Structure 1
């Protein structure tokens, strides 16, 4: 978790970066921005407010971390924060060279140096890279003597950050601790900020492991033709319940609790290896469970059985009170539900 109560905006530079396909170019500032205390607080809130997830990344390169441009530029800033203007220009050039999709919007690019950041209880400094792409119309009301006037203006909504990256001066040997926000890109152009410009990989931590094992469960039940819809809902309900009630994950304990049949447990273990290879991820056999990842993934769990266009059955509990059959007279399938009280 990132805490911003005592964060100090120490230095900030601003450049304008266009779309390279449209040959819009880059406009560089000649010096860092000078902002007063009130604007500084607004900017800190604007930059940090959207970083609510505990999902972190590391900058990386397939062959040599020092070939990752953002890693080099951020390292130089951490080593000498007075170099931020030159390094921010390098970052702007790098972003422009990656802005090759026709749907990528130009915008203002902010590069900031922050002091006294607290990340998961650790005090450190941070380098922020933020891009503002969208402008909104807002109204200005002001008095003129005994009357009022109203007009409109065009500007940035400080409650919504389009794109952002926070690089904390932790775990340098692994590519720093990195948080990412992208609220404006969709489709194929969305990859350019995270994959092409920053070039990051997900950090191997409790959030990463928890997120992946729940994704594994969802994929396992959805692709397994030997599991009917009731079993699918039951397995996913048990999986979420396991993560909500436990602090620690153990693969054997987990599979034994959520899957009854030994043959299906063996399939699950085999599918885990396939999932890791296909997704190029690692799922540890034991780890501390991330509450945030559990909450995020549980919202996407589907435990609803749709019956033609007439009914939907939501399964939240014990499937022993649900019985499936076939009516020979009507030539239709049916579900029989057993319950004590009706609300």
Structure 2
């Protein structure tokens, strides 16, 4: 989906942002960094900035609660830069000042802000120009060993940056501007105060593309089976697992999702299908993410959801039964003599090992 191997930097500016709530300040550089003639640093920076986005399958758009995109500061300044109404360094200063204004949680760490403009970034098979905004918050100590007079000497760098650990970043692709651009975001910080990057600084919402459609529908169906069906139907755990396995098989073997086909092949019950559509509609209304009746199934989203589709029946602390299919080969009952529940399994061959 996203490739940077053929991309190159056009500009780089570095600033510093403190924590506004702690009465720290921001420091703006006077000019961009000169990378001309440096054969090593651009490659290191490209790895540091861009590599984390290769696995960022989810695509976002800028938005504003008032539905006026121009009120979103990062969108506003990004569009002015792409439209050549402001130069790059002014763009970098404006987004840095905005980042400072939203850095109001007392636990937000200060750090350097790197702003870059790029060309030949590939997104969904096409080349685009882009801008990136990155913040480094965590510093590490590094040892440096070097030869000296027949032996070796040791030195260190106390507060250095690990180029394999990008703390926060966003890449804004110069396409679909009127809808809020295509935006990729990375945030490696898990603390509650970290939401300021995506929610306060960037103000993003899902683009609702095939990846999002696939992942969301699989989540909604899983929750429907585990939480809603019990209210109407009497289901054993094995029945629920069978419904989940059938849906997983559908998404793994089909190229396109078809709502009517899914209801017939996977759900297989008109009443249950009606309940699912009601459940799905509640999700659409709550999160403002409508589902399409047909869409291309995104394989990366299926792989991501696969681990959360549990197919295990846990029996006390003695047995785990893994069910991968063939619900008709699994029987459940109650032994009155022993006063215990049981499962009966039918099979043809026993695997060794």
Q: How far apart, CA to CA, are the structure 2 residues paired with 1:279 and 1:74?
A: 26
Q: Verify: 1:255 aligned to 2:263, yes or no.
A: yes
Pairing 1:303–2:311 present: yes
1:174 aligns with 2:179: yes
Task: Say whether the 8 Å CA contact 1:234–1:319 is kept in structure 2.
Answer: yes
> Who is 1:59 aligned against?
62
Q: 2:89 aligns with which of 82, 85, 98?
A: 85
Distance 2:250 2:187 in 1: 31
Match of 2:131 among 120, 127, 130: 127
- From 8, 17, 38, the equivalent of 2:40 is 38
C-alpha deviation, 1:82, in angstroms: 6.7
In 1, the alpha carbon distance for the partners of 2:236 and 2:247 equals 17
**2: CA distance, partners of 1:96 / 1:170:** 27
Residues in 2 aligned to 1:105 and 1:284: alpha-carbon distance in whole angstroms: 41
Tell me, in whole angstroms, the C-alpha distance in 2 between the residues paired with 1:334 and 1:151.
67
The equivalent residue for 1:205 is 209
Structure 1 unmatched ranges of 5 or more: none
Q: Distance in 2 between matches of 1:72 and 1:235?
A: 46
1:146 is aligned to 150
Q: What are the ranges of 5 or more consecutive residues in structure 2 without an aligned counterpart?
A: none
The whole-number CA distance in structure 2 between the counterparts of 1:137 and 1:228 is 55
Using the TM superposition, name which of 296-305 and 7-16 deviates more.
296-305
For 1:103 and 1:318, the matched residues in 2 are separated by 52
**Residue-by-residue CA offset, 1:171-222 (whole Å, 9 max, x unaligned):** 0010111111111233x32321111110011112111111110011111012
Using the TM superposition, give the Cα deviation of residue 26 of structure 1 relative to its aligned residue in structure 2, in angstroms: 0.8
| Shift, 1:127, TM fit | 0.5
- 1:252 and 1:103 map into 2 onto residues whose CA distance is 49
In the comparison of the two structures, how many residue pairs are matched?
342
* Structure 2 counterpart of 1:2: 2
Q: What is aligned with 1:332? A: 340
CA distance in 2 between counterparts of 1:228 and 1:150 reads 65
Provide Cα deviations, 1:102-150, integer angstroms capped at 9, x if missing partner.
2221111111000111111211100001111111222211111100122
- 1:174-253 correspondence to structure 2 within 5 Å: 174-186=179-191, 188-224=192-228, 225=230, 226=233, 227-253=235-261
Alpha-carbon contact 2:263-2:269 (below 8 Å) kept: no
Check conservation: 1:12, 1:112, Cα contact below 8 A. yes
Distance 2:348 2:102 in 1: 62
**Residues of 2 paired with 1:233 and 1:269: CA distance?**
20
Whole-Å Cα distance in 2 between the matches of residues 102 and 312 of structure 1? 46
In structure 1, distance between residues paired with 2:335 and 2:194: 50
CA contact (8 A) 2:109 2:137 kept: yes
SS across alignment from 1:271? helix
**Superposition deviation, residue 37 in structure 1:** 3.0
Note the C-alpha offset of 1:152: 2.9
Looking at structure 1, the residues matched to 167 and 224 of structure 2 have their Cα atoms a distance apart, in angstroms, of: 34
What is the TM-score with the length of structure 1 in the denominator? 0.95
Are residues 335 and 190 of structure 1, via their aligned partners in 2, closer, same or farther at CA, if it must alter by over 3 Å?
Answer: farther
Please tell me whether the aligned partners of residues 81 and 113 of structure 1 are also in contact (alpha carbons under 8 angstroms).
Answer: no
2:25 is matched with 25
Runs of 4+ with deviation above 6 angstroms: none
Cα distance in structure 1, aligned partners of 2:154 and 2:342? 64
SS in 2 for 1:231: helix
